[in-house]
Amino acid sequence: MHRSLIAIALASAAVVPAFGQDNVVGSGILPSAATNSATRPMSFAQSVPTKGALVIPMRSATLPAGAVDATTAQALDAAIAAAKYEGKEGSMLSLRGIGGYSRIILSGTGDEGDRIANIRNAAGKAGQDLRDEAQPIAIAGGLSADEAAAAAFGYALGQYRFDRYKTIDKKAPPANPVTVVTSESGAADTLWKTRHAAMAEGVALARDLATEPANVIYPESFVERARTAFGTTANVKIEVLDEAAMRKLGMGSLVGVGQGSRRPSRLMLVEYRGAGTGAPLAFVGKGITFDSGGISLKPGAGMWEMKGDMSAAANIMGAVLSLAKSKANVNVIGVAALSENMPGGNAQRPGDVVRTLSGKTIEVLNTDAEGRLVLADANEYVIANKKPAALVNMATLTGSIVGALNDEYAGLFSRNERLAASLLSAGTATGEELWRMPLHKNHLEDMKSDIADIKNVVEGGGPGASLGATFIGFFVDKDTPWAHLDIAGVNWADKAGPVTPKGASGWGVRLLDELARTYRVE
């Protein structure tokens, strides 16, 4: 290589500091120091721009009053009639060469269901379609303040992108602003700034963490990335337990999962207090930053997807970030139980017995059922030290929930009817929907171990999602309202949805944000 090229390479390389080869974990070379390209900023106005690109949410074939000037409206009416466009929910008609606009998108909301949700989805769908449009964007059509804020939120979710590792012919998408037009621009701007912007930031954090490769996000770097995201946000306290602290406490179930990896495990707690001294709502998430299956090794095909086995922990951090940055009147604790499950020489073996913080013992029959193991210790630590008013677990836990619910719902398991009802209501309100799944007393009987208190799987099959939930609930005392969300089918989008580009979905940020705001703590 020519000397000048070597100098350029050395100057641009992202290198992990090392004090000697024995201290290097991985290659010691980060894949990039770049960030994702900038997204379009949001603002609100009372008048419709006369140029750029325009998005008009349509509930029927009739243009909303005041969306465009009379001449442009006449041309649009003719185009709508020619295309037989009806404004059905999820439909879209893209037009060019009308009026002074580079492009006009008619994005259907339909006239049924939740109007706010339909407008959010219509804007999100348009945001994905307009990704490469090198023009300012306007969204207009007789929108109220609530509808305008929802449109901005949907567009923000839809325009998400993760492109920091692209280097060949990389061209950043346009970042021209988005202006949402409403006669209530001041009220819409307040709604956006006091809630929706923070929620969009929380979803982006969750998607970023889940999309990053496992050589970039591992327990220690997850902690630092989350710390950076929270920064100096008011009323937030962060606590992190390293392996030495967890060993001292006897948290053998969590530490055991990561013992085959050179990346040490962590337990991260982010507490936000926006409502005084009342008992907090606890969200406790599985954070397996890579899941090889351990000694019970997974098949190689598709194993790369296991970089996202920490999606639940990422989503929980995103939800707490949303609540804290919007100064919500709630008390919450977000917990990330972080390990890397690898088949190293020190890895735990099938048949090992581990002990949790409370002294309960687990026979580990399958090292690939590891998410429930990290949650066992995390639950016990939170209950013993934080005394939560209720506890919600979240995990990409089982393939069986995917077989049952596909990607339409996450599975909900709960012993508490009020908490379950609140979660179902929050799912309906946000579009992150849940389906109640069974827990039965026989499940616990099936999980009894011959040599320990409980085993982590039932060999030979059975209702895998319910058995996994039963195991997790075993480490939550009966007096604590508890629910478990199995998100294995919804954490990753194989194809784009209205507000979810293909890839990590950030599923659960909006759900948990809504739950925290609406759940009545007794």
Cβ count within 10 A of residue 287: 33
Structural tokens at position 152: 């901005």
Distances (CA, A) of 307 to 35, 205, 292, 317: 19, 15, 9, 17
Out of 88, 115, 166, 298, pick the active-site residue.
298
pLDDT reported for residue 521: 82
Query: 298 an active-site residue?
Result: yes
Out of 325, 372, 455, 510, pick the active-site residue.
372
pLDDT reported for residue 356: 98
Question: How is the chain split into domains, by residue range?
Answer: 42-182, 199-518
Query: What residues of the chain score a pLDDT lower than 70?
Result: 1-22
Which helix (H) or strand (E) is 468 found in, with range? helix 464-473
How far is Cα 376 from Cα 92, in angstroms, rounded to an integer? 47
Query: 502 an active-site residue?
Result: no
For the domain made up of 42-182, the CATH class stated in words is: alpha beta
How far is Cα 191 from Cα 146, in angstroms, rounded to an integer? 7
pLDDT reported for residue 22: 64
pLDDT reported for residue 114: 95
Distances (CA, A) of 322 to 144, 193, 202, 206, 272: 23, 11, 5, 11, 10
Asked whether this chain's domains 42-182 and 199-518 adopt the same fold, the reply is no
* Region 199-518: CATH code: 3.40.630.10
pLDDT reported for residue 323: 98
Q: Estimate the crossing angle of helix 145-158 against helix 197-211, to 10 degrees.
A: 20
Residues 270 and 320 sit within 8 Å (Cβ to Cβ): yes
pTM of the model: 0.95
**CA angle, 516 then 518 then 522, to 5°:** 85
How buried is 65 (Cβ within 10 angstroms: 0-12 exposed, 13-18 middle, 19+ buried)? exposed
